[in-house]
């Protein structure tokens, strides 16, 4: 870390100690619980994730418990969080860990990419690695500073609440005095296409119908779900995979 970055990082950590978000997965080192939080947070806002994460861990408190669950139950439990392949990958990852333990290279787990692997490595196993998501990268690029692994949670919060994508709140930022981007405004990022009326919505509707034992009435959506392993078409009838544990 450069000498220039040290006071910047110190200011960030002081700010975080005072106003950092109190999120339940930050109070533990359980790699399974942290993996669940990271997978849920990939496409879902924090305030929606907290109650779902707590309910999930109440139902499957250990990686072994999740591994033993039928895939169908896992998919149903995930409903409402979106991007249902995340549930299937989390379930598959749990089975790998339950059988073989946590790998040194966490990207060997199904659905775990470099960012999620770095987050679990840092927050659960205490490894000296900085997980870089969109918020962290934004702060790095705007400040031009280098940050160590200990600053990860602070960077998440700064990027999510202060150093916003289009109109950053520089007047509230603990790094503003040394930030070369202070006062700048940015073009709006390309927004994701609306969910309403999209093929993603059709898939979600079809999956809910199948989970409820109803005919989905959307062959294209069913075919897409089947390709992702979220449903199995047996004798022409789509059903959730694994109605019973292996």
- Decide: 113 and 102 in contact? Cβ < 8 Å: no
177 part of the active site: no
Residues near 246 by beta carbon (within 8 Å), at least 6 away in sequence: none
What is the signed CA dihedral for 73, 206, 209, 94, rounded to 10 degrees?
0
Q: Distance of alpha carbon 17 from its chain centroid, rounded?
A: 23
With both helix axes pointing from N to C terminus, report the angle between 152-161 and 134-143 in degrees, rounded to the nearest 10: 90
Per-position b or e across 177-186, b if 16+ CB within 10 A of its CB = eebebeeeee
Name the catalytic one among 9, 38, 73, 77. 38
DSSP state of 112: -
Our CA angle for 3, 6, 7, nearest 5°, is: 110
Could you tell me which of 79, 17, 81, 76 has the C-alpha nearest to residue 45? 81
Q: How far apart are CA 72 and CA 239, in angstroms?
A: 9
Could you tell me which of 66, 58, 28, 23 has the C-alpha nearest to residue 41? 23
238 bridge partner residues: 233
Catalytic positions are 38
């Amino acid at each position: 870390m450069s000498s220039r970055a040290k006071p910047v990082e110190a200011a960030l950590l002081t700010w975080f100690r005072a106003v950092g978000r109190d999120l339940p997965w930050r109070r533990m080192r359980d790699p399974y619980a942290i993996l669940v939080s990271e997978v849920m947070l990939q496409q879902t806002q924090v305030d929606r994730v907290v109650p779902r994460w707590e309910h999930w861990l109440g139902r499957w408190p250990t990686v072994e418990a999740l591994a033993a669950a039928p895939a169908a139950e896992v998919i149903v439990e995930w409903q409402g969080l979106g991007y249902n392949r995340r549930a299937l990958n989390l379930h598959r990852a749990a089975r790998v860990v339950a059988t073989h333990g946590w790998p040194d290279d966490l990207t060997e787990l199904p659905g775990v990419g470099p960012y999620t692997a770095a987050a679990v490595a840092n927050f659960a196993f205490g490894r000296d690695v900085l997980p870089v998501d969109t918020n962290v990268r934004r702060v790095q690029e705007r400040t031009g500073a280098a940050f160590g692994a200990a600053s990860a949670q602070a960077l998440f919060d700064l990027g999510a609440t202060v150093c916003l994508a289009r109109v950053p709140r520089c007047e509230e930022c603990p790094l503003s005095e040394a930030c070369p981007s202070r006062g700048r405004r940015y073009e709006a990022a390309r927004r994701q296409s609306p969910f309403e009326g999209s093929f993603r919505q059709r898939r979600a509707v079809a999956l809910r119908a199948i989970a409820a034992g109803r005919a989905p009435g959307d062959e294209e959506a069913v075919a897409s779900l089947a390709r992702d392993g979220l449903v199995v078409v047996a004798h022409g009838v789509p059903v959730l995979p694994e109605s019973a544990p292996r």
